[in-house]
Amino acid sequence: MLRILANENFPGPAICALRQHGHDVASVKELMRGSSDHAVLERAQAEQRLIVTFDKDFGELAFRFGLPTFCGVVLFRLTGPTPEVDNTRAVAILESRNDWAGHFATVTEDRIRIRPLPRANA
């Protein structure tokens, strides 16, 4: 089971699908609408959750903020023919691995690039 914090721009249908598959998904849109990216990172850290987002700013923030190793960020850059296709792919990709924690991952149409996050306060 994944513990996820879905950023405001992460699609509702993908959140629902992840929940139906038994994952613990907190939604920024439902719980903290309009919060800053920094506040989202702090919540992910406090609740030990993986952030899923379509927001490129999280890359720089995650490295600058020094997310602890139990957190991680998955940045989706999908450009499928329909939102439904991208939602289905996002769910499948998240469920395809169990090593998201401690990493910043960028998911594109043809690959997943994963880099380790620096240690907190390193």
CATH code where residue 106 lies:
3.40.50
Report which residue type is found at 50. Answer: L
Structural domain span for residue 101: 3-116
Count CA within 13 A, CB hemisphere, residue 35. Answer: 19
Residue 95 is predicted with a pLDDT of 95
Q: 69-105: per-residue pLDDT in tens?
A: 668 899 999 988 898 999 999 999 999 998 998 899 9
Asked if residue 121 belongs to a domain, the reply is: no
Q: 8-60: per-residue pLDDT in tens?
A: 999 999 999 999 999 999 999 999 999 988 899 889 989 999 999 998 887 77
Asked if residue 91 belongs to a domain, the reply is: yes
Whether this model's pTM surpasses 0.85: yes
Q: What does each C-alpha distance from 21 to 8, 14, 17, 112 come to in angstroms? A: 20, 11, 6, 22
| Number of domains composing the chain | 1
